[in-house]
Amino acid sequence: MESKFDEKLFAGKEPLTIFRRWFEEAKKTEINDPDAIALATVDEEGLPNVRMVLLRIIEDDGFVFFTNYGSKKAKEAFLSNKVAFNLHWKSLRRQIRVRGYVEKEDGKIADKYFSERQIGSKTAAWASKQSETLANREELIERWQAYKNDFKENVARPDFWGGIRIKPIQIEFWADGQYRLHDRFVWERRFGEKVWGVRRLYP
Ligand X SMILES: Cc1cc2nc3c(=O)[nH]c(=O)nc-3n(C[C@H](O)[C@H](O)[C@H](O)COP(=O)(O)O)c2cc1C
DSSP percent split of the chain into helix, strand, coil, nearest 5: 30, 35, 35
Least Å from the CB of residue 152 to ligand X: 25
Residues at the contact surface with ligand X, assessed by CB under 6 A: 33, 36, 49, 51-54, 65-68, 71-73, 130-131
Question: How many other CB atoms are there within 10 angstroms of residue 131's CB atom?
Answer: 15
Nearer to ligand X, 67 or 168 (CB): 67
Please report how close the Cβ of residue 111 comes to ligand X at its closest, in angstroms.
16
Measured from the CB atom, is 85 or 174 closer to ligand X?
A: 85
CA distance readout (Å), 101 to 10, 53, 167: 24, 17, 5
- Provide the annotated active-site residues: 180
Q: What gap in Å lies between CA 19 and CA 57, rounded to an integer?
A: 12
Closer by beta carbon to ligand X, 68 or else 123? 68
